[in-house]
Every structure is written in structure tokens, then in C-alpha cells.
Amino acid sequence: MQSIRVLTLAVFLFSGASSARADIGCGQPCRGLLLEAQTLESQARYQEALAKYKEAEQADPKASVPLSLAAGLVLKLSTVAPKDKAPQLRDMSRDLAERAAALEADDPVAQEVLRMLDDPGPSPLHVPNARAARLMAEGEAAFARQDFKAALPRYEATMLADPQYSSAWVAAGNCHYVQKDWTRAEALFRQATEIEPHNSQAWRYLSDALLYQNKRAAAEAALYKAIEADPSQRPNWGKLAVYRAGAGMPLKTLGLRRGVRVSQDLQNADGKFEIRLDAQTDAEKTPDHAFRIALGMSEVKLRTDDIDKRKSAFEIELEAWRLALKIADEAEANSGEGITDPGLLQVRALARDGQLEPAILLLMFRQAYRPALQAWMAANPGGVKYFIDRYGVQP
């Protein structure tokens, strides 16, 4: 599912559909080389595809898309690589995606790749059977060539092969969408949301189809459903921000950089945890740096103490933030120097307002947090919209 999501984003870039970006900032010959690379990738000729992405990058060094699409391909390869090779490929994918994001912060493919690298949890969506997956791949290859007449029958065959595979309905809707048949696109996108309400992409594309029919209120409501389905999908927030800005209610970007990751060495018997700071970390001996170290150490302690694995991933993350924020407050009281990172300051403000739980669920979502998100939404009907309206912040 992960590779299909990246590919779907990619083909939307080339079709010019507003569901991704109308202008990918890559002219000829870059665009032509990218189309060639996409075709090669769909044929499983991965080394040749990577070479084409490299050519596209050289043709337009200021364009982010050659880098982000290459990052998506390398990430896909990491999922089928031998265990000893996968970490190197994931590091390569992260480097490519970060370089793309440095060129264009809103590059949707780069955002999706970085999200998947940070969140290895499985997608909540239905995994297609073998026949459906093969038909879907054939349809995506035709879509990448912008041969929508060839793609649509493949997507329809995918629906028959696996009726629970909602992404097939989304893909079929895409074919009508790019040909400006908004009504048919809406019907297919809506059916996808009925098959799998957690299909965030289906809600987002439904919103686009509704907007083109001047159904603005329904389009905005669909975006809130998209965020509820998967808060980590940045394009949902970006589209909602456009709606709200037009109504004089802009969203402020949190821009949070957690900056620290904790991993466990499962190769050794002791299984020790390791704290890793991101490459773009703070200067040492600053309150921001100290906070991230405290966050990592708090997570290590919580995970080490949880011998029986009784705590959920969300419970550990929530408590780690609480401990780190407490340490930061005590350090600031003693030294007079506090954190300065805007993202960290915003999270601290939300925590002081009793909103740390929804802040993590909505602004730092991971698939492992899904049970906690469902429980929070059940206890707080309309809570997602209320949180956004009250604080005006997005990831």
C-alpha cells in the first residue's frame, strides 16, 4: 500500500490534477524524463528508473520532484531488500526526500516519503489480493502514461478482483477526475470512503470533486473527515488551510522537528535502545538540544521499564513528552534560559492548556496511535474541528 500511495501522488503531479499540485515546478526536458522514469518504474526496471530520475535532477537542479520521486522508489526498494541492506536504502531515501523538501517544502511526495520513514506502522487500509494488486499495477502504469482509457478498465477489474480494496475506486475516480467528469469522480470517491472510512486519500479527492461542483461546504467537511481518517497526511491540512485562509481563519504551521529517534538493536540479545539525533540537529549546550536529549532519554526509560509491553506506543510518547517538558521547565526556572524552537514552544503552550493528548494525536500522528485516536474522537465528538478552530494550527 505504501508504494501505491507514493505512485498515486506521483501520477497526479504529471496529470496536473489539483489533488496534488497543478505546477510541479519542472519544465521540459525534466518533465519528459520523469515520465520515462515513471514508466520504467512501473515495469520494475528500477535501476534504469533511478538513472532517469538522476537525469531529470540534472536537467532542472532547482526542481524538487526528481529527488522526491527517487526517494519514493528507494523507499519501496527498502521494503523488499535483505535485512542488512534495508537500513542503508532507508537512509538514502531520507536523504533524497530531505533534499527535495529543502528545495520545495510543500512537495507532497517528499512529505509522504518522510512520513512513511518516520512511521513504519502498517497502513490501516485493506491489503489487496495478488490478482487485484497486479491489475492495479497495470492500471497505474497506464495512468502514468496518461492513457486513461486503458487505465480505467484495469481499475474496474481490480474492483471485481477485490471489492474491499477501496484504493481501486479512488484510482478509477482519478480517471474521471482528470478528464473533468466531476460527478462520476465524486461517486467513485464517495464509494471508496464507504468501503474504507480510513482511506484519507479518498476523502481528500472527494473534497476536490465537490469543490469543482461548487459544493464548498461539503468539500470542506470532507477535508475534516480526511484528517480524522489519517492526521499525518499533510495534503489534507494544506487544502484545509487554503479554505480557511479564504475565510479569514488561516492555519499556522507547527513545523515541529522532533529531532530525536529511539531505535532498538534487535540483532543483539540485550536489545538495547539507542538515541539518534537527526542530522539537522541543534547546536550542543542549547536548551533546544537539551530538550531533545531529554525527550529521547525519557522514551528510552519508559520503553525499558515497560518489560511486559503493557503500554501502547501512544502512552509512551505522551508520557515522554510530559517528562521532557517538565525537565525543560525546571531547567528554565534554574537557569533563566528556555527552549526557543517555535514548534517546541507551541507544543509546550498546548500542553499547558491541557491539550497535549490531541496535539500528539493530530499534529504528530503515527499509525500506532490509531486506537488512541479512535478512543479520543469517540470521547470528543467534533473534537478535531474544535481543536483546529480553537488553536488554528496544522502539522
Residues 231 and 273 in one domain: no
Q: Are strands 273-277 and 260-264 parallel, antiparallel or unpaired?
A: antiparallel
How far is 132 from 134, CA to CA, in rounded Å?
Answer: 5
Q: Do 223 and 207 form a contact (C-beta atoms < 8 A)? A: yes
Domain assignment of residue 134, yes or no = no
In the predicted model, is pLDDT for residue 148 greater than 50?
A: yes
Sequence-distant (≥ 6) Cβ neighbours of residue 365 within 8 angstroms: 119, 230, 231, 232, 373
Residues 242 and 264 in one domain: no
Q: What is the 3-state secondary structure (H, E, C) of the chain?
A: CHHHHHHHHHHHHHHCCCCCCCCCCCCCCHHHHHHHHHHHHHCCCHHHHHHHHHHHHHHCCCCCHHHHHHHHHHHHHHCCCCCCCHHHHHHHHHHHHHHHHHHCCCCHHHHHHHHHHHCCCCCCCCCCCHHHHHHHHHHHHHHHCCCHHHHHHHHHHHHHHCCCCHHHHHHHHHHHHHCCCHHHHHHHHHHHHHHCCCCHHHHHHHHHHHHCCCCHHHHHHHHHHHHHHCCCCHHHHHHHHHHHHHCCCCCEECCCCCCEEEEECCCCCCCCEEEEECCCCCCCCCHHHHHHHHHHHHHHHHHHHCCCCCCCHHHHHHHHHHHHHHHHHHHHHHHCCCCCCHHHHHHHHHHHCCCHHHHHHHHCCCHHHHHHHHHHHHHCCCHHHHHHHHHCEEC
Domain assignment of residue 382, yes or no = no
pTM beyond 0.85: the answer is: no
Predicted confidence (pLDDT) per residue in 75-96, tens digit: 989 988 898 888 899 999 999 9
Domain assignment of residue 377, yes or no = no
How far is 215 from 238, CA to CA, in rounded Å?
Answer: 19
Produce one character per residue of 188-211: b if its CB has 16 or more CB atoms within 10 Å, e if not: bbbbbbebbebbbbbbbbbbbbbb
Residues 231 and 264 in one domain: no
- Give me the CATH number covering residue 150: 1.25.40.10
Domain assignment of residue 389, yes or no = no
Q: Beta-carbon neighbour count of residue 48 at 10 Å?
A: 15
Q: What is the amino acid identity at position 157?
A: A
- Give me the CATH number covering residue 82: 1.25.40
Length of the chain: 395
Q: CA Rg, the chain, in Å? A: 22
Domain assignment of residue 12, yes or no = yes
- The count of structural domains within the chain is 3
**Domain end position, chosen among 87, 118, 149:** 118
> For position 387, what pLDDT does the model report?
98
Domain assignment of residue 133, yes or no = no
> For position 277, what pLDDT does the model report?
85
Lowest mean pLDDT of 154-158, 271-275, 288-292, 302-306, name the range. Answer: 271-275
Name the percent of the chain lying above pLDDT 70: 91
Q: Which domain holds residue 79?
A: 2-118
Residues 245 and 265 in one domain: no
Which among 37-41, 141-145, 337-341 has the top mean pLDDT?
Answer: 337-341
Residues 111 and 190 in one domain: no
Domain assignment of residue 223, yes or no = yes
In the predicted model, is pLDDT for residue 252 greater than 70?
A: yes
Instruction: Please compute the mean of the pLDDT values over residues 264-276 and round it to a whole number.
Output: 72
Predicted confidence (pLDDT) per residue in 191-227, tens digit: 999 999 999 999 999 999 999 999 999 999 999 999 9
Q: Beta-carbon neighbour count of residue 136 at 10 Å?
A: 24
Domain assignment of residue 128, yes or no = no
How far is 343 from 321, CA to CA, in rounded Å?
Answer: 13
